[in-house]
Structure 1
Amino acid sequence: MVKKLAIIGSGRMAWIFGKNASEMGIESHAFSFDDHCVAKETVTEHHLVDIMKVDDVLDICRKIGVHGVVATTELTVPVASYVAQNMGLPCIPYDKAKVITDKYRNRKVCEHVEGLVQPRYAEVYDLDVFNDKDWQFPIILKPTSKGGKRGIAVVDSPDELISAFGYTKQFAGHDPIIIEEFIKGGQEYSVESLSYKGRHYMIQITEKISSGPPHCVELGHRQPAQLSPEMRSAVQKAVFGGLTAIGVENGSCHTEIKIVHDKIYLIEFNARPGGDHIAWPLTELSTGYPYIKGLIEVALDEFRGLDEAQLKNYYAGVCFVTEQTAYLKPLFDICEQFDWLYWKNEVSKELLPLTHNDGYHTNFMMYYSKTAKPDLNKFIKK
Structure 2
Amino acid sequence: MKKLAIIGAGPMASVYAMRARELGIETHCFAWKQGAVAQEDVDVFQDISIFDIDAIEEICRNVGIGGVLPTTELTIHPAALVASRLGLVANDPEVAARITDKYRNRELTKCVSGLCQPRYALVRNSSDIETLNIAYPVVVKPTAEGGKRGVTVASNPCELKAAFAYAQDEKKDSSDVIVEEYLEGGAEYSVESLSFRGVHSIIQVTEKWSSGAPHCVELGHHQPAALSLEMRAKIEDVMACALTAIGMQHGCCHTELKIIDGKLYLIEFNARPGGDHISFPLTELSTGYPYITGMIEIAFGDFQIPDTSQFDHNYAGICFITEQTRQLKRIFDNCEQYSWLYEKHQATSKLERLTHNRGYDTNYFIYYSRDSKPTFLAEINLD
Letter in 1 for 2:108: V
* Structure 1 portions without partners, runs of 5+: none
On the 8 A contact 1:331/1:380 being kept in 2, the answer is no
Which runs of structure 2 are paired with 1:219-258 in the superposition (5 Å)? 219-258=219-258
The 1:187/1:380 distance shift into structure 2, 3 A limit, reads: closer
Is contact 1:8-1:76 (8 Å) kept?
yes
AA of the residue aligned to 2:245: A
TM-score (normalizing by structure 1): 0.97
1:375 aligns with 2:379: no
Deviations 1:287-333 (A, max 9, x none): 00010011100101111221010111100000000111111111111
Asked whether the equivalents of residues 22 and 42 of structure 1 are also in contact (C-alpha less than 8 Å), the reply is no
* 3-state SS in 2 of match to 1:130: helix
2: CA distance, partners of 1:41 / 1:369: 32
Structure 2 counterpart SS, 1:38: coil
Distance 1:295 1:266 in 2: 24
Over 3 Å counting, the alpha-carbon distance change for 1:380 and 1:257 in structure 2 is closer
Equivalences for residues 148-187 of structure 1 within 5 A: 148-172=147-171, 173-187=173-187
Cross-structure match for 2:53: 54
Superposed displacement of residue 87, structure 1: 1.1
Residues in 2 aligned to 1:78 and 1:337: alpha-carbon distance in whole angstroms: 45
Contact kept in structure 2, 1:132 and 1:158, CA below 8 Å = no
Structure 1 residue 25: deviation in Å?
0.7
Whichever residue aligns with residue 261 of structure 1, its letter is: D
**Deviating more after overlay: 124-133 vs 102-111:** 124-133
Larger deviation: 184-193 or 161-170?
161-170
Could you tell me which amino acid in structure 1 is paired with residue 70 of structure 2? A
> Which residue number in structure 2 is paired with residue 5 of structure 1?
4
| Residue number in structure 2 paired with 1:66 | 65
Structure 1 residues 81-137: Cα deviation after superposition (integer angstroms, max 9, x where no partner) = 001111111111111001111111111111111111111111111121233662210
What secondary structure is seen at the aligned counterpart in 2 of 1:34? coil
Q: Could you tell me how far apart the structure 2 residues matched to 1:380 and 1:150 are?
A: 26
Once the two structures are aligned, what percentage of the paired residues are identical? 51
Task: Tell me the equivalent position of 2:21.
Answer: 22
How far apart are the structure 2 equivalents of 1:296 and 1:288?
17
CA distance in 2, matches of 1:361, 1:130: 35
What is the aligned partner in structure 2 of residue 32 from structure 1? Answer: 31
Distance 1:381 1:106 in 2: 33
Aligned to 1:265: 265
Change (3 A) 1:182 1:380: closer
Q: Is the 8 A contact 2:70 2:76 kept in 1?
A: yes
- Spell out the pairing of 1:96-115 with structure 2 (5 A cutoff): 96-115=95-114
Aligned residues: 381
Q: Which amino acid counterpart does residue 146 of structure 2 have in structure 1? A: G
Q: How far did 1:32 drift? A: 0.2
Alignment partner, residue 84 of structure 1:
83
> Cα offset for 1:174?
2.9
| 2-structure distance, mates of 1:14, 1:133 | 41
8 Å contact kept, 1:288–1:312: yes
Change (3 A) 1:218 1:199: same
Query: How many angstroms apart in 1 are the aligned matches of 2:302 and 2:21?
Result: 16
- Aligned partners of 2:380 and 2:271: how far apart in 1? 36
Q: 1:82 is paired with a residue of what secondary structure?
A: helix
Is residue 331–residue 379 contact of structure 1 (8 Å, CA) maintained in 2? Answer: no
Q: Normalized against structure 2, the TM-score is what? A: 0.97
Q: Distance in 1 between matches of 2:276 and 2:167?
A: 22
The match for 1:340 is 340
Letter in 2 for 1:241: C
Give the conservation status (yes or no) of the 8 Å contact 2:33–2:39: no
User: What is the distance in 1 between the residues matched to 2:143 and 2:20?
Assistant: 32
Distance in 2 between residues matched to 1:188 and 1:217, nearest whole Å: 11
CA deviations over 1:5-37 (Å, ceiling 9, x no partner): 000000101011001111111001111012452
> 1 CA distance for matches of 2:178 and 2:280?
30
CA deviation profile, 1:350-372 (whole Å, cap 9, x unmatched): 11121111111000011000011
What is the one-letter code of the residue matched to 1:333?
A: D
Say what the alpha-carbon RMSD is for the aligned residues.
1.3
Select between 67-76 and 368-377 the one with higher mean Cα deviation. Answer: 368-377
Distance 1:349 1:5 in 2: 39
Summarize the Cα distance change of 1:324–1:191 in structure 2 as closer, same or farther, 3 Å threshold: same
* Contact kept in structure 1, 2:121 and 2:132, CA below 8 Å: no
**Take 1:308 and 1:133, find their aligned partners in 2: how far apart are those partners?**
44
What is the one-letter code of the residue matched to 1:98?
Answer: A
1:283 is aligned to: 283
> Aligned partners of 2:206, 2:176: CA distance in 1, in Å?
29
Native 8 Å contact 1:8 1:32 kept in 2: yes
Cα distance, 1:379–1:115 mapped onto 2, change above 3 Å? closer
Q: Conserved in 2, the CA contact under 8 Å of 1:330 and 1:380?
A: no
> 1:326 corresponds to which residue?
326
1:75 aligns with 2:74: yes
Does 2:371 align with 1:361? no
Give the structure 2 partner of residue 140 of structure 1.
139
Q: Does the aligned pair in 1 maintain the 2:28–2:45 contact within 8 Å?
A: yes
* Deviation (angstroms), 1:378: 6.7
